[in-house]
Structure 1
Amino acid sequence: MAIAIRGKRGLTRRHLLVRSASTLALAGLGSLAKPYLSRAADRPRITCGLQSGDVSTNSAMVWARADRPARMRVEYSTRERFDTILGAASADALPDRDFTSKILLEGLPPGQDIFYRVRFEDISGIPGETQTGHFRTAPTDDRSISFVWSGDTAGQGWGIDASRGGMRTYRTMLENRPDFFIHSGDHIYADCPVPSELKLPDGEVWRNIVTEEKSAVAHSLAQFRGNYKYNLLDENLRAFNAEVPMFAQWDDHEVTNDWSPIGSADETGYSEDGTSRLVARAARAFHEFMPMRESREEAGRVYRRVSYGPLLDVFLIDMRSYRDSTWNRRDDGSDTFILGKAQLAWLKRELAASDATWKVIAADLPIGLVSLDAIALGDGPPERREQEIADLLSFVKRAGVRNTVWLTADMHYTAAHHYDPNRAVFSDFEPFWEFVSGPLHAGTWSPGELDNTFGPKAMFQKGCSAEQGDNLAPCFGLQFFGRVDIDGRSEVMTVTLKDVGNRDLWSVDIEPRPDARPGKLLAQHI
């Protein structure tokens, strides 16, 4: 349950009714809670650290999880000492959400460091421990921006080996002190159990922390939830989450490998409305554990736009929830899609309406890398799912939308792709960049094959060598993320591809182009 409280003001009758309803909900669960004792061990605990997300100029989500039915209390300030409190908010942590709770903080000052502290109170109102977190609201002026992106965590059985430093890429990203982090998907690998040990090519042994819920392929809601709780055992991830807000999207492994809405199910089958029960359980766990805003237009919607001041809009798209069946596509190419009609129309409208200098399209899959599950299928004109991408790219050109950059992960190596109509079979679009990074903490693969439909050229790529072989363990150093810096004066975007050791592997400066939209009266193009 999420409750938005605007600043520190008197409670209205509506707030009192909401709070009273929450109190009754908690009181009704009294039989589930342990009798309260004064010992610290019997106080409500924060079990998985803190998270913030979807930060804008004046609001942000805050997330935490308790170990029992409780109420989450949040106080926030622009001062780390909390000697001045901007406001306070509360929300319930109940069994039906696995004791997770999130609150939308509103009325925040723009361009400010916000410090927040969280505690849980049990049904008697006596508080447990307090933890503190931090995020920075988006600016309303042209100050510089820095953020990081990547994806793919705890894949291929490579879990948390504490003796090797755990999930070290999160620690490295924290050292960069970004304004926010885009997680491009595969937060978990629900279809990849974590064994106690894995043999390494050099003869050594990788030793995982293991849990019951992460020891089998996820089917039950408890197992999907357990995948997120497993990752949050890592101290690097918890430290990162407490300091850097996340813009979350998902890909396939939050459900199962290469999933699509039709054709991805287990023995429980489908609900009466035709939806997969497996996908529903996976989606429920994802939304419970992500610090995301809840869509008012569509329950469970992942795609959204996050505005981060005059220099940047981030468009987080969803290439899973609305796609055609991965394995049952028609040979004539009809009825095949990756975004779906509603999301594609939304993306066009939002891009056309954006006043930001840079429009970052955060995708969960690359455009031009050949894969049966993805978009590109090989050289030639746009076919099947490529037709939606061609439609989008043509619209961007026709509508005069400038300065679009695509960011993604998924491929388990890092690369910079430049798309140019002069190299392409399909040429009705403006040149643009796409950057690939990851994995954060999973097996590393060798670079893939590009097709010529949209004219991509690999300006840089790094992954496993043929000698190393695919699925190289994280301890060999080929774990990647990307950093984006936008200069407030020149508006130049600098994209740097980095590794777990914080080494700069490759970098490019991209000059912004002037807006070509005549009066922004673009409805006729949509």
Structure 2
Amino acid sequence: MNKKQYFFCGIFLFLFQLLPYTVVGQVYFTNGLKIQEVTDTSAVIWTRLCKLPNAIPIYHKQKKAPFKAPIDFDNNMPVNKMDGAVEGVFGEIKINIFNVNDTISVDWKHVSPYKDYTFMEVINGLNPNTEYQVLLQGRKDKNGSITEILGSFKTAPSSEMIVPVGFTSSTCQYFWDYDDPIRGFKAYDNMLKLNPAFHCQTGDYIYYDKPGPMSYNVELARHKWHAINSWPSLVDFYSNVPSYLQKDDHDILRDDATPNSKPFGELTFDDALQIWNEQVPLNDKPFRSVRWGKDLEVWLVEAREFRSDNRDEDGDEKSIFGKEQKAWLKSSIESSNATFKILMSPTPVVGPDRAKLKIDNHSNKSYETEGKWLRKFLASQKNTFVVNGDRHWQYVSKDLETGLLEFSQGPTSDDHAQGWDPDDYRPEHKFLRVKGGFLYVYVFRNKHDVPTIKFIHYDVEGKAVHEEIIKSKD
């Protein structure tokens, strides 16, 4: 971008930022509302109070896909002038959760720059399998104008309820690889059309280590969350679909990050972990399971916080999970009486993966011992499957030794798809497609009352491209 373009761009951004101040003291929910960690009796409400009604428009030209990084991006420019920037603002927020029979209110609470103007509240005392509306109100102070955002969700059924349930899952979404210049990502709008009961995002929600900017400090890292969360397709989706988010390497520092990783510029692993916890609040530990009626339980594992160094020698002590999480995973899966059990893994378990390039997941030689244990254990549990993130292509793989099935969603846009030759079908592959999209999982009882699970891969336009239907084993 030349000096003349920068001048006119600066004038535009200046005028753009004057618009919201026609209402004195107004605040906004530009980063939307998330309804997270929903159970049969509780939910976590998240939002962020913002200074402007819209993010700073995208004005940089981009490289060609994949990874459409901005051209001539100045990493040292003021963060509030960057494409997608959304400044936070001091103020207070009130929650009302209601349906025809009940209302739960949380009175005004302040947000501050200490936690990036984010807000989180755990709501208890909800009823199972019940629809609720969420009304958030924001204001600068008690004399300020009130802004509102509305959302909705349905709680999980209790563990003995027999109800059909469908959920979506996605992974890998780089802000600059958007495929709709107005809405952001087509996949989100098409997932919403399926009316999923909940959504699992398996990591790489943002990319600290890709340009536009490179997140070398806390301010730049937080910007990545502001920008991605301001896309209208994400705002609409997460306001109306309960979500469970898992972190992966790019969400926490850089490619293949571990707790032993050196800082990324001035951004440390602990800094990034703190940012994750303010942007994606949990109700408990980062490894957890969610029960959704009699026929489905989903395990969400943590793949970054507790892992060994990727370059350590493989053996019984080397682990992605760590001792506590590994023991929990084994005992909780074995004790569950859910008909279908699904491990949501931020990284592959079956693969195949790029053997010469990757050393950070259970399908790689670097974690061969724990990988073999995990595949054997999961395969020994009836009706148990893996849904994985981190790979930029869609696939269904069947482990040649154990028969364990793994479903890779693929990236959130076609422009982010890469990393595998589409003609390189391996013996493990039942399906292979090097494009973007998402996965939809549907659990139901057929006409003979046999519990059945259906895995459907969709493209970004919402067209089904592959389907696996599996009846439960007694």
Which segments of 5 or more consecutive residues in structure 1 lack a partner in the other structure? 1-37, 195-215, 269-276, 296-300, 464-477, 515-526
Distance 1:418 1:125 in 2: 61
Distance 1:495 1:134 in 2: 25
Instruction: Spell out, residue by residue over 1:106-137, the C-alpha distance to the aligned partner (whole angstroms, 9 max, x if none).
Output: 11121122111001244436552111001111
Distance 2:303 2:216 in 1: 22
- Classify 1:448/1:110 alpha carbon distance in 2 versus 1 (closer, same or farther; 3 Å): farther
Structure 1 contact 312–358 (Cα < 8 Å) conserved = yes
Q: CA deviation at 1:389?
A: 2.7
Aligned residue among 244, 255, 280 for 2:270 = 280
Structure 1 contact 171–240 (Cα < 8 Å) conserved = yes
- Name 2:36's counterpart in structure 1: 53
- Name 1:137's counterpart in structure 2: 155
Comparing 39-48 with 166-175, greater Cα deviation is found at: 39-48
Structure 1 contact 148–482 (Cα < 8 Å) conserved = yes
The DSSP-based 3-state class of the residue aligned with 2:451 is coil
Distance 2:427 2:24 in 1: 57
- Name 2:181's counterpart in structure 1: 162
Q: CA deviation at 1:233?
A: 2.1
TM-score, structure 1 normalization: 0.71
**CA RMSD, Structure 1 to Structure 2 (Å):** 2.7
Distance 2:421 2:324 in 1: 31
- Name 1:347's counterpart in structure 2: 329
Structure 1 contact 74–117 (Cα < 8 Å) conserved = yes
Structure 1 contact 52–63 (Cα < 8 Å) conserved = yes
Structure 1 contact 115–134 (Cα < 8 Å) conserved = yes
The DSSP-based 3-state class of the residue aligned with 1:162 is coil
- Classify 1:373/1:108 alpha carbon distance in 2 versus 1 (closer, same or farther; 3 Å): same
The DSSP-based 3-state class of the residue aligned with 1:243 is coil
Q: CA deviation at 1:170?
A: 0.8
Q: CA deviation at 1:154?
A: 1.4
Matched, 1:261 2:259: yes
Distance 1:447 1:186 in 2: 18
Distance 1:377 1:356 in 2: 26
Q: Which residue type is aligned with residue 384 of structure 2?
A: T
- Name 2:195's counterpart in structure 1: 177
Aligned residue among 125, 131, 144 for 1:113 = 131
Structure 2 contact 452–469 (Cα < 8 Å) conserved = yes
Distance 2:181 2:366 in 1: 45
Matched, 1:71 2:112: no
TM-score, structure 2 normalization: 0.79
Distance 1:305 1:376 in 2: 20
Q: Which residue type is aligned with residue 162 of structure 1?
A: P
Q: Which residue type is aligned with residue 227 of structure 1?
A: K
Matched, 1:293 2:282: yes
The DSSP-based 3-state class of the residue aligned with 1:47 is coil
Structure 1 contact 375–385 (Cα < 8 Å) conserved = yes
- Name 2:105's counterpart in structure 1: 88
Instruction: Spell out, residue by residue over 1:198-226, the C-alpha distance to the aligned partner (whole angstroms, 9 max, x if none).
Output: xxxxxxxxxxxxxxxxxx21122111111
Within-5 A mapping of 1:324-343: 324-326=308-310, 328-330=311-313, 333=315, 335-343=317-325
- Name 2:431's counterpart in structure 1: 460
Instruction: Spell out, residue by residue over 1:137-196, the C-alpha distance to the aligned partner (whole angstroms, 9 max, x if none).
Output: 1113111001000101116x4257626x521111111111111110010000111123xx
- Name 2:286's counterpart in structure 1: 302
The DSSP-based 3-state class of the residue aligned with 1:302 is coil
Structure 1 contact 119–129 (Cα < 8 Å) conserved = yes
- Name 1:228's counterpart in structure 2: 225
Instruction: Spell out, residue by residue over 1:43-76, the C-alpha distance to the aligned partner (whole angstroms, 9 max, x if none).
Output: 3322311111111111111111113333321111
- Classify 1:170/1:238 alpha carbon distance in 2 versus 1 (closer, same or farther; 3 Å): same
Matched, 1:502 2:452: no
- Name 1:149's counterpart in structure 2: 169
- Name 2:438's counterpart in structure 1: 481
